[in-house]
């Protein structure tokens, strides 16, 4: 499970944008925009979440202003565990 509230928030944003599917790619800038946090801080969370095995980041495409990322199965399970009760 993600260790901090902000890590969980970023993981949940990625899960929402990917429709909770491991096969759907998410653009990092969309996550940054939705988070409302500084880009560098969110990128640090991306690195942490990747280190935990919850997401995978693709290589930045030459000339592109974004990176692509995907949820892993572990990340998907962790995102369900962090959902608040409705």
Query: For the chain, percent helix, then strand, then coil, each to nearest 5?
Result: 50, 10, 40
What number is the average pLDDT over the span 70-86? 77
At 85, is the pLDDT very low, low, confident or very high (cuts 50, 70, 90)? very low
Q: Identify whether the C-beta of residue 13 lies closer than 8 Å to the C-beta of residue 69.
A: no
Of 18 and 58, which is predicted with more confidence?
A: 18
- Go through the domains of the chain in sequence order and give each one's CATH number: 5-81 (1.10.10.10)
Quick: pLDDT tens for 41-63.
999 999 999 999 999 998 766 77
Strand segments (E) across the chain: 26-27, 55-57, 68-71
Give the DSSP H/E element, type plus range, for residue 28: helix 28-35
How many helices (DSSP H) and strands (DSSP E) are in the chain? 4, 3
């Amino acid at each position: 499970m993600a260790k901090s509230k902000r890590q969980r928030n970023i993981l949940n944003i990625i899960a929402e944008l990917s429709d909770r599917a491991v096969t759907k790619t998410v653009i990092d800038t969309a996550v940054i925009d939705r988070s409302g946090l500084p880009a560098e801080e969110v990128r640090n969370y991306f690195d942490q979440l990747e280190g935990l095995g919850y997401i995978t980041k693709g290589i930045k495409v030459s000339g592109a202003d974004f990176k692509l990322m995907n949820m892993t199965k572990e990340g998907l399970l962790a995102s369900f565990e962090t959902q608040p009760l409705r």
